[in-house]
Amino acid sequence: MSTRETVLKTAEEYEESLRKLSLSVYMFGEKIADVVDNPIIRPSMNAVAMTYTLAHMPQYEELMTATSHITGKKINRFCHIHQSADDLIKKSKMGRLIGSLTGCCFQRCVGMDALNALSITTYNIDKKHGTGYYDRFLAFLEYVQNNDLVCDGAMTDPKGDRSLAPHLQTDPDLYLHVVEERSDGILVRGAKAHQTGAVNSHEIIVMPTVAMREEDRDYAISFAVPSDTEGITYILGRQSCDTRKLEPGDIDTGNRTFGGHEALVVFDNVFVPWDRVFMYREFDFSGQLVERFASYHRQSYACKVGVGDVLIGAVQTAAEYNGIDKAPHVKDKIIEMNHLNETLYCGCIACAAEGHREASGTWCVDSLLANVHKQNITRHPYEIARIAQDIAGGLMVTLPSERDFRSPVIGKWLNKYFTAKSDVPAENRCRILRLIENITMGAAAVGYLTESMHGAGSPQTQRVMIARQVDMKQKQKIAKRLCGINDK
């Protein structure tokens, strides 16, 4: 590895840093005393830990690490501000790599995307309004880089009545907002929903969720606070088959080691010091921050390509175990899965390669292509999953439990009747089917399918951006020129 100064945590150091946090976390109506070792939460922590493990492996150094543009130190790429199109391409390759090694959402992309969006927007706010946000942000960024921290990018508000602007909501807390201004900072109240990996994070970076008008200025705020700040409460969301993690054995979980989680993060009169405030009532820049973040985060769905790699490998294995891998229609369906998956990869690489330099020096993806890429992400994984279930067969959802297979009374029958090819143990067949179930309809389906649909904005938001950014006049101009139409 490089000899330049490094600030890379190990996976063990990351885990220990989480144990030092004092988080208020609730699940199933009860407060969680030991967040790190809770069997439902632990797999998600393992997935984040992989981002630390890979950064210390020489074969992945170029993808997983970068040189800080502010300190010159070697840092984890998840803490990096993109300095070139090559950085953006490596980000996509990194996402595919980790997705393929964990088979789930590894939760660290959203913080990276928030940092890069803020590096652009704070600079632009300062240029227009003469504020000092960019220097505040750089100080925060250096702290994050030097300590190799996980940041949760918190953008999505509960939103209440979607037909009403933030300031018109019956309950003002349905969008996070300022409730008090003090000499040393601000007091905020509200919540952020669907927060991926929130309890595995060191810092919470809050951003507005929509473009604001002047009447919404109290909602046009961005800041960062430690994840265990007083007044913050995490309420874990449920996932399909989540309590399987509480059962003995490891077959029924599908993915034995890794997983994800989502949380509602409640801010109940949380104090934010001024040096952690990066936008304060500059409503005219709220839309810019949302759009920059959304573009970066839509690129980040390269991770779904990595999970797709896992699913395709599982389906090929299931076909071989069932003795149908040579059937022409099965081979053709797996070709289609690969075609769709690689098409997704084309999109994330394209928006990175066509990136541009912003005034702050940060490189940003091509927003049009990022939105096209994410629009494909809302569709192709569902078709890949459909084909996977087609080839896997009905046993994927009617398979008895691991405890049944281990039973001294009925286990012999299950092992007898659920063996397909004679040289493949029934247990191996069960394991691969449970993995396919996990990714396409179990706990990992949250990361592979639901996030593909709703993560980084609903499908319609991407279509709005595509319509806005496509140069339709130019398309008309070239068409008219070719057929001899001369408009005055």
Mean pLDDT of 216-225: 98
Is residue 325 assigned to a domain? Answer: yes
Local confidence band at 325 (pLDDT 50, 70, 90 cut-offs) = very high
Q: What is the pLDDT of residue 16?
A: 98
Residue 78: what pLDDT?
98
Q: Which residues contact 333 (CB under 8 A, 6 or more apart)?
A: 387, 390, 391
Catalytic residue among 262, 282, 291, 437: 262
In one-letter notation, the amino acid at residue 153 is G
* pLDDT (tens digit per residue) in 87-133: 999 999 999 999 999 999 999 999 999 999 999 999 999 999 999 99
φ, ψ (nearest 5 deg) of residue 105:
-75, 130
Say if 473 falls within a structural domain: yes
CA pair distance 117, 270, nearest whole angstrom: 23
- Choose the catalytic residue: 79, 109, 151, 348: 109
What pLDDT does 5 receive? 86
Exactly one of 151, 303, 364, 430 is catalytic; name it.
Answer: 303
Token code pair at residue 404 = 């049944």
Q: In this structure, is residue 41 part of a structural domain?
A: no
Among the listed residues 301, 321, 345, 448, the single catalytic one is: 301
- The CB-side HSE value for 334 (13 A sphere, CA atoms) comes to 21
The CATH number linked to 432 is 1.20.140.10
pLDDT confidence of 6, banded at 50, 70, 90?
A: confident
Look at residues 185, 188, 201, 121 and name the one whose alpha carbon lies nearest to residue 153: 201
Instruction: With CA atoms as reference, report the closest residue to 12 among 44, 49, 41.
Output: 49
pLDDT tens-digit readout, 357-395: 999 999 999 999 999 999 999 999 999 999 999 999 999
Could you tell me what percent of the chain has a pLDDT over 70? 99
Catalytic residue among 151, 296, 451, 461: 451
Does the active-site annotation cover 301?
A: yes
For residue 196, indicate whether it is catalytic: yes
Residue 326 inside a domain? The answer is yes
Is it the case that residue 263 has pLDDT exceeding 50? yes
User: Which of 4-8, 207-211, 432-436 is predicted with the least confidence, judged by mean pLDDT?
Assistant: 4-8
pLDDT in tens, 226-239: 999 999 999 999 99
| 105 is a catalytic site residue | yes
Q: How many domains does one find in the chain?
A: 1
Q: Is 220 inside any structural domain?
A: no
Average pLDDT, the chain: 96
* Cross-strand partners of 441: none
CA pair distance 377, 447, nearest whole angstrom: 12
Annotated catalytic residue, options 196, 209, 229, 362: 196
Q: Which residue has the tokens 């994410």?
A: 374
Residue 2 has pLDDT above 60, yes or no: no
- Within a domain: 434: yes
Please determine, for residue 1, whether its predicted confidence score (pLDDT) is greater than 50.
no
Q: What pLDDT score was predicted for residue 487?
A: 84
Amino acid 240 reads: S
> Nearest to residue 78, comparing CAs of 58, 102, 106?
106
**Active-site pick, 104, 105, 364, 430:** 105
- Residue-number span of the structural domain to which 378 is assigned: 297-478
Asked about 262 being catalytic, the answer comes back as: yes
383 has catalytic annotation:
no
In a domain, residue 392? The reply is yes
Give the position of tokens 């992945």: 60
Provide the pLDDT confidence category of residue 137 given band limits of 50, 70 and 90. Answer: very high
Pair 54, 10: CB distance under 8 Å = no
Is residue 368 domain-resident? yes
The question of whether 109 is a catalytic residue gets the answer yes
Q: Which residues contact 39 (CB under 8 A, 6 or more apart)?
A: 245, 246
On the question of pLDDT at 10 being above 60, the answer is: yes
pLDDT of residue 3: 53
- What's the alpha-carbon Rg for the chain, to the nearest Å? 24
CA 484/CA 469 separation, integer angstroms: 27
